[in-house]
Amino acid sequence: MNLFAEIDSNAEQKMTRAQGLAMLKAFLPLAGGAYARERNFDKGPGEHLSVSRLSPFIRRRLISETEILQAVQARHAFSSSEKFISEIFWRTYFKGWLEMRPSIWSEWLASAPHAFEEERYLKACQGKTDIACFNEWAEELRETGYLHNHARMWFASIWIFTLKLPWQWGAAFFLQWLRDGDPASNTLSWRWVAGLHSRGKHYLARADNIERFTNGRFAPYGALDEGALPIVASDPPPAIEPAWPSLLPKNKYLLLLHAEDCLAENLVLPASPEAIIVLPASLGNIALGKHHWLRDRSIDSLDKEALADASMRAAGHFNCPIHVIEGQTADSVDGSENQGIARELIDFASQYQLGDMMTSYLPVGPTQQNIAQITKLLAAEGVHLHQLVRGYDRVCWPHAKRGFFPFKENIPKWLKNLP
């Protein structure tokens, strides 16, 4: 029986909380032993039914890690669902790890623009190599915005070790098209494959493994470099303890919604906001050089859909006025948008005669960079933007100082009292 029969085949196209919850409900029967047995099989476009496909919804926090973990625990014993639970916490681990080492993101961001003018990069992205499986995965990513996790690992390994392309360029290609593209998970996963995250431990794509886990769709024997050595580089910087804001505004405030967190109704706020301001989806994008955006504008459209859904729910929950800042829609690459957004926010602060605004915490990535600029512009006009850290992040992220396995030791404890 197809356990996803109740879900529209285009379910992932609807970036709403209701759709995410429907997909979670449909996936729950598989989250135990079935997931553990089938999760590594890439069965091809339209056949990814052995994995949850929840990542685009988690990425925008249309559904939260806490409610997913609670739903899985209510249905399955930890012994049978540990594999799926671990995948949720891998994402959490990567978020915390990068949060304490933001220079890793900055270094990647500085190197990524060089890719777009390189013929080797363009040839690989267009699937014009001599490796059939790689070419089909490149096409699937561009066509659907998704790749099975195992295919992502194979693809990254072939990119780095067989095609001899910089991992930074591959990370740019993924972030350009992935519907669930996350600065932490994407950047650190590419580093992990290259052997830079766990020093000396890289991931090599092997023809027999690809043949087995694609059910024979691909068998690239003789086409891969299966003896490549890991990339060598300097050690990553030591973890910096997060200096998260602890003081929230005591006065009345405006609540800002952004696409990093589309679940405002379950934020623990000091009081209801006077009004809600919806920030532009394009804040999740950033210019790479003079002619390219970090991600395709179709991903901005997904964020816009998620924000529209979030704003409707927030307006009903808080019963207050809501205002939408549209942002830049042109395809030109320039840095003027943040100034315009700041000006509109200052006007709203004046309209409501308030000097405080609040939003959910911005982790390392484009939205954080853009809002950091906006925050400075606001502060110059006497308007203060406060950021609220969710309990789940505050509890888990500081444990991501080393590798995943020391982090993982905390999972049973966290599951007993999920924040």
Tokens of 353: 């005669």
pLDDT, averaged in runs of 10, over the chain (419 residues): 36 84 97 96 95 97 98 97 98 98 95 87 96 98 97 98 97 97 98 93 97 98 97 91 80 96 95 96 88 89 97 96 80 68 97 96 96 96 96 96 96 94
Residues contacting 197, CB < 8 A, separation 6+: 188, 191, 236
Instruction: Judge contact between 395 and 92, C-beta under 8 A.
Output: no
Burial 89-101 (b: 16+ CB within 10 A, else e): bbbbbbbbbbbbb
Selecting from 3.40.50.620, 1.25.40.10, 3.60.110.10, 3.90.226.10, what CATH number does the domain 254-388 have? 3.40.50.620
Q: State pTM to two decimals.
A: 0.94
Who contacts 206 (Cβ-Cβ below 8 Å, separation ≥6)?
224, 226
As separate numbers, helices (DSSP H) first and strands (DSSP E) second, the chain gives 18, 7
CA atoms of 207 and 157, how far apart (whole Å) = 12
CATH number of 11-98: 1.25.40.80
Single out the residue of 158, 117, 375, 121 nearest to residue 256, CA to CA: 375
Q: Are strands 287-288 and 275-278 parallel, antiparallel or unpaired?
A: unpaired
* CATH superfamily placement of domain 102-213: DNA Cyclobutane Dipyrimidine Photolyase, subunit A, domain 3 (1.10.579.10)
- What pLDDT was estimated at residue 334? 52
pLDDT at 6: 38
Type and span of the H or E element at 93: helix 78-99
Nearest one of 206, 212, 130 to 163, comparing CA atoms: 130
Pick from 361, 414, 410, 419: nearest CA to 391: 419
Residues 6 or more apart whose CB falls under 8 angstroms from that of 191 comprise 104, 167, 197
What whole-number distance in Å separates Cα of residue 335 and Cα of residue 288?
A: 11
Instruction: Compute the Cα dihedral for 419, 77, 409, 184 and give only its sign.
Output: negative
Q: Where does CATH 1.25.40.80 sit in the chain?
A: 11-98
> Helical H runs in 145-296?
149-157, 167-177, 183-194, 207-213
Per-residue model confidence (pLDDT) at position 328: 63
Dig out the tokens for 115 from the structure: 């890719």
Mention every residue, 6+ apart, whose C-beta is less than 8 A from residue 25: 71
Joined together, the tokens standing for residue 248 give: 């929230």
d(CA 40, CA 153): 11
Residue intervals in the chain for CATH 1.10.579.10:
102-213
Say if residue 130 is exposed, middle or buried (CB neighbours under 10 Å; 0-12, 13-18, 19+).
Answer: exposed
Query: Which part of the chain has CATH 3.40.50.620?
Result: 254-388
Q: How far apart are CA 122 and CA 135, in angstroms?
A: 12
Q: What is the pLDDT at residue 43?
A: 96
* 288: β partners: 292
Q: What is the pLDDT of residue 13?
A: 67
Euclidean distance between the first and the last CA atom of the chain, given in angstroms as a whole number: 35
User: Distance between CA atoms of 18 and 327, rounded to whole angstroms?
Assistant: 26
Phi-psi region of 200 (alpha: psi -120 to 50; beta: other; left: phi over 0): left
What is d(CA 161, CA 206) in angstroms, rounded to the nearest whole number? Answer: 11
